[in-house]
Amino acid sequence: MDLRIGLVSISDRASGGIYEDKGIPALKAWLGNALATPWKSIERLIPDERELISGTLVELVDIEGCSLVLTTGGTGPAPRDVTPEATIDVADKVMDGFGEQMRSISLKYVPTAILSRQVGVVRKHALILNLPGQPKAIGETLDGIFPAIPYCIDLVGGARIETRPEVISSFRPKKK
C-alpha cells in the first residue's frame, strides 16, 4: 500500500488569497525530514466551512486513500473555527489522547493553548489530526505526538509508516 497523506489548511483568509498559507509548507517540511517511507501528499487549502471541511476529510480518506490526514487551522474558540466539529462529524472513533497531548505540548510554549480544541479521530483505515496553525507550533506538536502515529495507523489498517530514527522514533510494541 502506498503511503498517501492528506494535508489540509483551513483558513478563510489564506484560501481567499489574502495571505500566503504557511501550514501546508510547514507540514510538508516536517514530514519530508521525518519520514523514511516514500509518501505522496494530497493537499487542500479551504475556508472555514463545516460541510466543506467534512467533505474534504471524507474525500481524502475514502476516495484518495490517505492513511493520515493532518489539518491546520480552525481549532480556536472563534465563531468560524469549526474544524473539530467537522472532524468529529466524519469520525468512526474519537482518539481523545491525541487532543489531550497536543494541548499539553502547546501549553509548554503558550498559555493560550487551553483555548485550542484540537481532536484526533479514526475514519476507516485513517487517522485524522487537527494541528495548530502556526508553523513553529506544527513542528513542536508533531515532535510530541508522532511517535504514536505509525502504530495507530497499523492498528486501523492503514499504510505502514517508517520514520528516520535520527529525527523521530516511532513506537511499536515488541513482538513476542
**Residue type for position 142:** L
pLDDT tens for each residue of 28-39 = 999 999 999 999
What is the DSSP code string of the chain? --EEEEEEEE-HHHHTTSS---HHHHHHHHHHHHB-S-EEEEEEEE-S-HHHHHHHHHIIIIIT--SEEEEES--SSSTT--HHHHHHHT-SEE-HHHHHHHHHHHHTT-GGGGG----EEEETTEEEEEE-SSHHHHHHHHHHHGGGHHHHHHHHT-----B-TTT-PPP-PPP-
Which domain range does residue 51 map to?
3-156
Structural domain contains residue 8 = yes
Structural domain contains residue 170 = no
Q: Return the pLDDT at 1.
A: 63
| Domain of residue 61, CATH code | 3.40.980.10
Structural domain contains residue 169 = no
Structural domain contains residue 161 = no
Structural domain contains residue 56 = yes
**Residue type for position 63:** I
Q: Work out the average pLDDT over 9-16.
A: 91
Domain tally for the chain? 1
Structural domain contains residue 55 = yes
The percent of residues above 90 in pLDDT, for the chain, comes to: 93
pLDDT band, residue 174 (cuts 50/70/90)? confident
Q: Work out the average pLDDT over 16-27.
A: 94
Structural domain contains residue 67 = yes
Q: Work out the average pLDDT over 80-85.
A: 96
Confidence check: pLDDT of 62 > 80: yes
Structural domain contains residue 104 = yes
- Which among 16, 33, 4 is positioned nearest to 127, based on CA atoms? 4
pLDDT band, residue 175 (cuts 50/70/90)? confident
State the cell numbers at 25: 509548507
Q: Work out the average pLDDT over 100-121.
A: 94
Sheet holding 120-123, edge to edge: 39-46, 3-10, 68-72, 126-131, 120-123, 93-94
Q: Which pTM was predicted?
A: 0.96
Of 12-26, 32-46, 59-73, the least confident: 12-26
Q: Rounded mean pLDDT of the chain?
A: 95
